[in-house]
């Protein structure tokens, strides 16, 4: 089978690996769609495991099931989570599913024609896709679930003012989800086209991040934001977040800068103002179920976020598009598609 083997962002090779056969409790699935996630291109995060086949936002079709698998059958359309919690450890029992230490197995990378799904993911991490959800739409289930979790942790409610710093893929999903809760949403970015997209997807106001964000926020809103969500790793955004959050408010670090970057937090100021700083990493089973329902019920528009669909041979080009961040939002790799042309 063909796979895209990632060595680094500038070295992605099309390679051949044996197509695996499922053992007891496992299943072999064909990858129909796999999205390139923003975290896939973060080298400091991925390099320790290189070389590897990346890709964790997948829509798949069951090809063959191993002995003992009765939940699914050949031809079933599925979303498979990248990893699952044990639901038993002290972290899971407190709802910290992403921090679970009981399960180490991960889904093999989705930038491949086929994936061998481990037993634990067959049992607890595979979800039948409703007819209303396409394979391409299923690539948003995991990233949207991460957004669902972050906004739930932040206790975002109707009527709040939510400032979203960064209007890339995760920013646009955050905008849509906050608007679905009838929040006032203000979004920033340095890219004018992305600011237009932020408006298109529901932001009430947009601010160019190169401007004085606090000054413009106060002019627009008359007050600071109840919740600030940082969806960009650009260093100026963190200072903007500290300045823009209101007393008693919350800053959500949906993403972080590189490990070589130091972020200074004004703890003395925050102590008096009772500011919460939350980190939100990955998602859990409840978030995945909520995300699937949001997509199935068309509460979140994901179709318009797809800008490119590429064959597996063009995975390196897809990574370059995501890194450049000019025209691409969601780039989907179609490992088993036959393309009469290189892009559509």
For the chain (length 344 residues), average pLDDT per consecutive 10?
98 98 98 97 94 98 98 98 96 96 94 98 97 98 98 97 97 98 98 97 98 98 98 97 98 96 95 97 97 98 98 98 92 88 46
> Can you read off the two tokens belonging to residue 307?
């800008």
Strand partners, 31: 60
- Say how far apart CA 94 and CA 285 lie, in whole Å: 13
pTM score, whole prediction: 0.95
Per-residue pLDDT at 343: 45
pLDDT given for residue 344 in this prediction = 39
Q: How far apart are CA 336 and CA 338, in angstroms?
A: 7
What whole-number distance in Å separates Cα of residue 334 and Cα of residue 247?
Answer: 47
Phi and psi (nearest 5°) for 287?
Answer: -70, -40
Contact predicate 14/312, CB 8 Å = yes
Per-residue pLDDT, 9:
97
**CATH 3.90.180.10 domain extents, the chain:** 2-144+283-334
CA distances from 235 to 166, 209, 214, 265 (A): 12, 11, 16, 12
Q: Which pLDDT score, from 0 to 100, does residue 325 have? A: 86
> Residue 217's closest CA among 179, 195, 246?
246
Please give the pLDDT value at position 340: 60
- Length, in residues, of the chain: 344
| Per-residue burial over 5-38, b = 16 or more CB atoms within 10 Å of its CB, e = otherwise | bbeebeebeeeeeeeeebeebbbbbbbbbbbbbb
Q: Which fold is adopted by the domain 155-279?
A: Rossmann fold (3.40.50)
Q: What whole-number distance in Å separates Cα of residue 317 and Cα of residue 319? A: 5
Beta carbons of 43 and 93 less than 8 angstroms apart: no
Please tell me the predicted confidence (pLDDT) of residue 326: 84
Question: β-strand 27-35 against 114-117: which pairing, if any?
Answer: antiparallel
Q: Where in the chain is the domain with CATH 3.40.50.720?
A: 155-279
Structural contact between residues 112 and 4, judged by C-beta atoms closer than 8 angstroms: yes
- Name which CATH class applies to 2-144+283-334: alpha beta
Backbone angles phi, psi at 175, to 5 degrees: -60, -50
| pLDDT at residue 13, rounded to an integer | 98
**Rounded distance between C-alpha atoms, residue 249 and residue 226, angstroms:** 5
Which strands, in side-by-side order, build the sheet including 184-189?
205-208, 184-189, 161-165, 225-230, 245-253, 276-279
């Amino acid at each position: 089978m063909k796979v895209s083997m990632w060595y680094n962002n500038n070295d992605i090779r099309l390679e051949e690996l044996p197509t695996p056969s499922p053992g007891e409790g496992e299943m072999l699935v064909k990858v129909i769609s796999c999205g390139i996630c923003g975290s896939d291109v973060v080298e400091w995060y991925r390099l320790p495991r290189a070389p590897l086949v990346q890709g964790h936002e997948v829509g798949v079709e069951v090809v063959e099931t191993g002995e003992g698998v009765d939940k699914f059958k050949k031809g079933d359309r599925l979303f498979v989570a990248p990893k699952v919690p044990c639901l038993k450890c002290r972290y899971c029992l407190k709802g910290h599913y992403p921090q679970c230490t009981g399960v180490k197995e991960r889904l093999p990378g989705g930038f491949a024609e086929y994936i061998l799904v481990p037993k634990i993911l067959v049992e607890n991490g595979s979800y039948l896709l409703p007819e209303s959800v396409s394979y391409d739409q299923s690539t948003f289930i995991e990233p949207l679930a991460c957004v669902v979790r972050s906004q739930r942790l932040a206790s975002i409610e109707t009527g709040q003012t939510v400032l979203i710093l960064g209007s890339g893929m995760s920013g646009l999903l955050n905008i849509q989800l906050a608007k679905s809760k009838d929040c006032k949403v203000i979004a920033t970015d340095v890219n004018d086209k992305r600011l237009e997209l932020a408006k298109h997807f529901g932001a009430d106001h947009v601010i160019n991040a190169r401007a004085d964000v606090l000054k413009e926020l106060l002019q627009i809103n008359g007050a600071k934001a109840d919740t600030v969500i940082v969806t960009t790793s650009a260093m100026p955004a963190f200072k903007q977040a500290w300045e823009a959050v209101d007393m008693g408010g919350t800053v959500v670090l949906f993403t972080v800068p590189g490990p070589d970057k130091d972020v200074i937090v004004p703890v003395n100021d925050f102590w008096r103002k009772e500011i919460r700083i939350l980190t939100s990493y990955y998602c859990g089973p409840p978030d995945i179920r909520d995300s699937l329902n949001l997509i199935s019920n068309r509460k979140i528009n994901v179709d318009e976020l797809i800008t490119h669909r590429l064959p597996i041979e063009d995975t390196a080009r897809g990574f370059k598009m995501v890194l450049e961040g000019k025209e691409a939002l969601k780039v989907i790799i179609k490992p088993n598609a036959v393309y009469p042309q290189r892009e559509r």
